[in-house]
Structure 1
């Protein structure tokens, strides 16, 4: 069987050294569209945007954890013992990050990764890779990456969670739109995801798309920046955790519509988010999306 669940879960955690500096953070923020505000020709010098682009004022968006050190969590999960799958059948299904403290502008840390679960969805399997990252001062973040593998289900394992999060039946508290530049995927991929699906038209056609698509984790970061800038007073330190399910593709040149609802749960306050593609009748991009503030 391509996935040996027992072997994958029992395997020793793999450690990877991570390192980054202010240039990596700035490049990541630029890949999310920092320094550009719709309708603002002076956006590059806007004080709110300089927090993402100018090293003397820099803070770090928590979603930077998905690219810190250039490490790609999904790729690491697919190289784990017991995992042998066709990369063409792989999709990034979901992402969650829990922050233990604000991310430093520059750092050296150790990532410890393991396969936490393999769920049997019938026609597919979902591999959950858990990564824990710490530096000399202690834990920094924990992330769960869900890797959806078509055709690898039906092995008799646990199905895992499948509940969907309903959006509030009322007008959003906040709605913003964020345009995706035509060259944005080309810039974002410099942070470490070199998949040609996001740059090469011929490769995109082989994968079933008319043209290259934007990285899911770029949409993930853009949505978080929109929430931080509008609902959290621009304070990245107020993000405790951020989770999403990748519900559909978006193309460079389109526009993300980000809707936000302030709600309560048994764990306290949270912000529920819906992200859709404006030009395709609000086709879903991110779903089941929740930010838990500090």
Structure 2
């Protein structure tokens, strides 16, 4: 069996130094649509977007943590851990959970420690939980958990793991916004470090079962968090405490996302759909906890 759960869980963590600069942060923000002006009749950039794009005002959206230091040790690195030998074309990003311990600085050097935190048997697929903990000289910065589905690798009788499904939000959303995507959104976003050919190479995308390259799930993840921060949190990135989602469907560059938000006590529930495909679900079971 390509996945040996016991061996993967017992493997020594991988630790390495990561660095990022203000330029890396700006590139990430541009990759998730910062600076875009939805008003096509106005040539000027929205002044509020300068907090994401101008170095003298730069605030770091917490989802930058998923790519800081080029995401190392990240998903691709995790798939080469002891006990794991899988076909990249069978790999899908199933979900992401991010816990922020304190605001992320615009420039930094930190130590990232990555390990396989769990391996679940879903029958027709295996799920790997890849945990990355990052700390600098002042202490913990963030913890990332990536839930990775590997199709065709389940069925060995292992633990199925917890259910991530939540009851749907009640009533009409408090806010709903639409975010159009660039045709080259995936090509721009991949410059932040995720070079999986699924998002750029049409031939590889076909091998993986898609008509054309799809957008990175973590790009949609960042776009969505930015919408929540800008719409309901007053543009204050430091209010985000944690952010979790389940990737429910694919997104194609050039589509438009509809992001619906419900206020709850200390958190925002979010559902994201593809406008171009009758609101087909993209992100679900999505929660942003905040101060």
| Structure 1 residue 8 displacement after superposition | 1.1
1:286 and 2:261 correspond? no
Q: Using the alignment, how far apart are the partners of 1:52 and 1:168 within structure 2?
A: 30
| Structure 1 residue 55 displacement after superposition | 0.2
Kept after mapping to 2: 8 A contact 1:11/1:114? yes
Secondary structure at 1:240 match in 2: strand
Structure 1 residues 100 and 38: alpha-carbon distance in aligned structure 2, compared to 1, 3 A threshold: same
Q: Using the alignment, how far apart are the partners of 2:155 and 2:89 within structure 1?
A: 19
Q: What is aligned with 1:22?
A: 22
Q: What is aligned with 2:223?
A: 222
Secondary structure at 1:45 match in 2: coil
1:59 and 2:59 correspond? yes
TM-score by length of 1: 0.95
After the TM superposition, which residues 227-238 of structure 1 pair with which residues of structure 2 at under 5 Å, given as runs? Answer: 227-238=228-239
After the TM superposition, which residues 34-49 of structure 1 pair with which residues of structure 2 at under 5 Å, given as runs? Answer: 34-42=34-42, 45-49=45-49
After the TM superposition, which residues 68-79 of structure 1 pair with which residues of structure 2 at under 5 Å, given as runs? Answer: 68-72=68-72, 73-79=74-80
Q: What is aligned with 1:154?
A: 155
| Structure 1 residue 42 displacement after superposition | 4.5
Give unmatched runs, 5+ long, in structure 1: none
1:249 and 2:250 correspond? yes
Q: What is aligned with 2:145?
A: 144
| Structure 1 residue 196 displacement after superposition | 2.1
TM-score by length of 2: 0.96
Q: Using the alignment, how far apart are the partners of 1:231 and 1:238 within structure 2?
A: 11
Structure 1 residues 227 and 210: alpha-carbon distance in aligned structure 2, compared to 1, 3 A threshold: same
Secondary structure at 2:149 match in 1: strand
Residues 181-215 of structure 1: CA distance to partner in whole angstroms, max 9, x if unpaired? 11111111110111222222233233222222111
Structure 1 residues 61 and 197: alpha-carbon distance in aligned structure 2, compared to 1, 3 A threshold: same
1:272 and 2:243 correspond? no
Give unmatched runs, 5+ long, in structure 2: none
Residues 227-278 of structure 1: CA distance to partner in whole angstroms, max 9, x if unpaired? 00001000000000000111101111110000000124xxxx2110001000
Q: Using the alignment, how far apart are the partners of 2:81 and 2:213 within structure 1?
A: 28
Q: Using the alignment, how far apart are the partners of 1:115 and 1:83 within structure 2?
A: 10
Secondary structure at 1:274 match in 2: strand
Q: Using the alignment, how far apart are the partners of 1:208 and 1:11 within structure 2?
A: 32
Greater shift in the superposed pair: 209-218 or 276-285: 209-218
Structure 1 residues 196 and 215: alpha-carbon distance in aligned structure 2, compared to 1, 3 A threshold: same
Q: Using the alignment, how far apart are the partners of 1:157 and 1:203 within structure 2?
A: 31
Greater shift in the superposed pair: 5-14 or 104-113: 5-14
Q: CA RMSD, aligned part only?
A: 1.3
